[in-house]
Amino acid sequence: ALGVWRTQIRDTHQRASLFSFWELLPTRAEPLRKKKKVDPKKDQAVKERLKKRIRKLEKATQELIPIEDFITPAKLLDKARQRPQVELSFEESERRALLLKKWSLYKQQEHERERDAIRALVAAQQEALQELQLESPELYSEAIKRDPGLFPFEKEGPHYTPPVADYQPPEGRYNDITKVYTQVEFKR
Amino acid sequence: MAAPVRHVVLGATGVWRRLERPWASSLCSRSLTLAALPSRTKSPWRLWGALCLQRPPLISKPLTPLQEEMAALLQQVETEKSLYSDHELRALGEAQQLAKKRADLHEEEDEPGILLVPDLEEMWEQAFLRFRPGARTTEADEKNDRTSLHRKLDRSLVLLVREKLGGQDVWMLPQAEWQPGETLRGTAERTLATLSGNSMEAKFLGNAPCGHYKFKFPQAVRTESNLGAKVFFFKALLLAGDFPQAGEEARHVWVSKEELGDYLSPRYLAQVRRFLLDL
C-alpha cells in the first residue's frame, strides 16, 4: 500500500550500500539450479580419466636428454661442404704405409720400456717394504695403510711453453651459452 | 749417539702419555704418531727417513723426427677426411667471385670496408705474432745454475743437499733420523719442514717408501748394537714454493736423473736410480 519505494527508504540507515534496493530485485530470467549429489562424483570421474590419459602419454614418451655430439647439425649435411676425393700417388701411399709400420714398432718399444720401468719401481718398493718389515712390524703396517688424502689428485700437465710471468689476459666478458638439461623423472 | 736399546726403552715410557692425546684427536692413517710400543729393541740398524722431492716437468719434451713425421701425417689425414669449414667455404666463394669478375669485367672494383679472406688471415697472423710465449730454455739453463728451479723445464728435478757425515761433506737426499712415536713418512715430512721452513708445499705419494739404502758404519764407530743404518726414501711432488735462497754457499742443488752421478756415491746412486723414472 505504501509502495515498494517507501518501504525501502524506511531502513536506509541499516543497509550496507545505497544500491542494495536494486540488488534485492531478481534481474536474471533463469530459474535457480539445484545442486545434485551425483555431480561431484561425475567431476571426479572426469578428472581421473584425464589423469590416466596424461599418465599413458608420459609412459609412451620418456623424453631423454639429447646427446649433442650424436646429432649432426643440418648445415653440415650440405654437399658443397664435401672435399674432392684425394687420389694418393703410389709413392705417397708407400711412404704412409712404411711410416705407420715404423710408428707401431716405436710405440711397441716405448710401451716395453715403460712397462719395465714400472716393474723396476715396484720391485724397489717391495724390497724397501721387506727391509722395513724386518726392522719393525708396526712401521711396516703403518706404511702399508692407504693414504686417504692422496686421491682425488689433480695436477695440470706439461704444456708447450712455460707460464709467462705478469701475463695480462685480454679484457672481455665470457658468455657461457652451453645448454644445461635436467632429466625429468616421472614417478609412478 | 746413545745406545738405541736404552733410548727406545726411555722413549716408550715417556711416549705413552704424549701419545694418548694425539691418538684421540687424529684417528686417520695420515697421523704421524704410533700407539703401539716399538719393539725394535734388538735390531742393530738405525732408521732414517729420507725425502725424494721432485719438481715435475713444466713443458713437454721436444719431438723426435719420427714423432714429427707422424704428427704431420696425422694432420694431413685429418684434413683429407674432414668437411670444409665456414671459413674455407667463404674463401672458395670469394675466389670464384674474383675469377668471374676478372673474366667478365676486367675492372677491379674494390669496395672498401669489406674484409676479404686474405686480409682476415693477415690480421690473425699479426695478432699471433704479437704474443710472446714463455721461453722453453731459460737463463738458468744457459748459466747451468743448478740451484735454480727454473732449469730443464722438460725434465723432473730432484733435490739434493750437502750434509756433514763423519767429518766429510757428502751429497745426499735430505734425510733425518727416525724418532720413536712417528711413522717414517712423518720423518720425511719433518725433513721437509726443517729444510724449507714452511716455504715449500709438497704432495706426498702414499705412506709406503719407494726405495731404501742400507749401509754399515765404519769400523771405528761400529758397536754390537749399532751396526749401521737403513735409509727409507719417500717420494713427494713439489707443488709450490722454493728453497729459501742460501746465497753463494748453497748447500742444495736441483738435479735431473742424468746429473745425479756428478754428486752421489756409486752404491747410493745405484739404489736411488731404481726409484726415479727416466721419463
* ipTM score for this prediction: 0.77
Residues of chain B where predicted confidence (pLDDT) is lower than 70 = 1-41, 106-113, 244-249
Q: What is the pLDDT, as a whole number, of residue B112?
A: 63
- Locate the chain A residue with the closest alpha carbon to B61: A160
Q: What is the pLDDT, as a whole number, of residue B249?
A: 67
Question: Tell me, what DSSP letter sits at residue B82?
Answer: S
Q: What is the pLDDT, as a whole number, of residue B49?
A: 93
Torsion angle (degrees, nearest 10) of CA B196, B200, B203, B205: -30
Q: What is the pLDDT, as a whole number, of residue B9?
A: 43
In the predicted model, is pLDDT for residue A139 greater than 70? yes
Residues 6+ apart with CB under 8 A from A121: B210, B274, B275, B277
Q: What is the pLDDT, as a whole number, of residue B15?
A: 43
In the stretch 214-233 of chain B, residues with CB closer than 8 A to chain A read 214, 230, 232-233
Longest Cα separation, chain A: 126
Q: Nearest Cβ partner of A102 from B66, B206, B211?
A: B66
Q: Nearest Cβ partner of B210 from A125, A137, A153?
A: A125
In the stretch 72-111 of chain A, residues with CB closer than 8 A to chain B read 76, 80-83, 86, 96, 99, 102-103, 106
| Residue in the block written with cell 650440405 | A78
In angstroms, the separation between the Cα of residue A154 and the nearest Cα of chain B is 11
Q: How many CB atoms lie within 10 A of CB B226?
A: 18
Which residue has better confidence, A58 or A130?
A: A130
Distances (CA, A) of A1 to A4, A22, A97, A170: 8, 20, 122, 96
In angstroms, the separation between the Cα of residue B134 and the nearest Cα of chain A is 5
Which residue has better confidence, A31 or B180?
A: B180
CA dihedral (A51, A56, A59, A60) positive or negative: negative
Q: What is the pLDDT, as a whole number, of residue A57?
A: 77
Q: In whole angstroms, give the CA distance from residue B190 to residue B200.
A: 12
User: Is A137–B39 a contact, with Cβ atoms under 8 angstroms apart?
Assistant: yes
Please tell me the pTM assigned to this model. Answer: 0.72
In the predicted model, is pLDDT for residue A5 greater than 80? no
In angstroms, the separation between the Cα of residue B194 and the nearest Cα of chain A is 22
Most confident of A71-85, A99-113, B43-57, B141-155: A99-113
From chain B, the residues in CB contact with A155 under 8 A are: 56, 237
A148 cis-preceded (ω within 30 degrees of 0): no
In angstroms, the separation between the Cα of residue B272 and the nearest Cα of chain A is 10
